[in-house]
Structure 1
Amino acid sequence: MTEVSRVIEAPPEAVFEVLADGWLYAGWVVGSSHIRDVDPGWPDVGSRIHHSVGPWPVHVQDETVVTAVEPGLSLALEARAWPVGSAAVGLTLVPHRQGTLVRMTEHVVRGPGKVLPGALQALLLKPRNTESLARLADLATGKHARTKSSRP
């Protein structure tokens, strides 16, 4: 399993607010290029984001489904991109003196990528997930700053 982490200078509620907005998924998940639809109730267990993965015109249309959620604390997803496969992705939010420590785990659960050794999966996934957390941080801190400045 590959794990990356990052401290985001926003409270867990602000970070989770970005995760809970399925329309923002392509804004922070590296590789997701277009959101076609978000199920009502996202991020309830079983709800889906219908997305495209990869660059146009060779993108793959697939979906990501919520497998577990604890609002404000964690989100578990199965991200699909057939024929490549699918991966279990976990995001955990921990209060931190500077905001929120976000831990992101990922491992391939189906498809051709599953036969890759863990070290090779990590070599491929770690840089991608590090960038995903950087993008999540930008969205969460920006949104949090706007919310704070609009309060009387």
Structure 2
Amino acid sequence: MAIVEKVIDAEPQHVFAVLADGWTYSDWVVGTVHVRDVDHDWPRVGTQLHHKAGPWPFSLEDSSTVLACEPPHKLVIKAGLWPAGEAIVVFTLEPVGDGATRVRIGEDFAAGPLRWVRNKLNDLVLHQRNKETLSRLCDIAVRQKADQREPR
């Protein structure tokens, strides 16, 4: 399992708000290029977001499903990318310091061919991908927090 963490200068509810907006998924999840649809009650358990991943013209359409949701502390998603397989992705958010959040992403292949080709190179690629994913999530959460503080 690849585990990556980052401290974000935003409260857990600000970070979770980004996770709870399925339409932003392709903005911060590395490899997702387009969100096609999001179930109305996302991220309630069982709801889905429908996405495309990978470069055109090879992009694949699939869906990701919420397995567990405990706002603003935990979100577990089964991310599909068939025929390559699917992964279980666990986001945990822990308040730290004054107004900051430690966000941890744990990801592991759960089904399909990717589950059977685990090796150090795959772990390294997944680790680097999730570091960039957290960096993007951080940028969005901090920007949204700042936008809420500015007078309109």
TM-score w.r.t. length of structure 2: 0.96
Quick one: distance in 1 between partners of 2:57 and 2:14? 34
Aligned-residue Cα RMSD (Å) equals: 1.2
* Residue number in structure 1 paired with 2:22: 22
* Residue number in structure 2 paired with 1:117: 118
Quick one: distance in 1 between partners of 2:97 and 2:81? 37
Point out 4+ residue stretches in structure 1 off by more than 4 angstroms: none
Deviation at 1:103, TM superposition (A): 0.4
Deviation at 1:150, TM superposition (A): 3.1
Quick one: distance in 1 between partners of 2:119 and 2:7? 25
Quick one: distance in 1 between partners of 2:52 and 2:94? 30
Q: Quick one: percent identity of the two aligned structures? A: 45
Quick one: distance in 2 between partners of 1:34 and 1:76? 20
Quick one: distance in 2 between partners of 1:73 and 1:150? 28
Amino acid at match of 2:57: P
Quick one: distance in 2 between partners of 1:119 and 1:139? 30
Quick one: distance in 1 between partners of 2:45 and 2:86? 17
Task: Give the number of equivalent residue pairs.
Answer: 151
Amino acid at match of 1:129: N
Q: Give the secondary structure class of the aligned counterpart of 1:150.
A: coil
Is there any run of 5+ residues in structure 2 with no aligned partner, and where?
A: none
Deviation at 1:38, TM superposition (A): 0.1
Amino acid at match of 1:117: R
Quick one: distance in 2 between partners of 1:13 and 1:150? 20
* Residue number in structure 2 paired with 1:56: 56
* Residue number in structure 1 paired with 2:101: 100
Is there any run of 5+ residues in structure 1 with no aligned partner, and where?
A: none
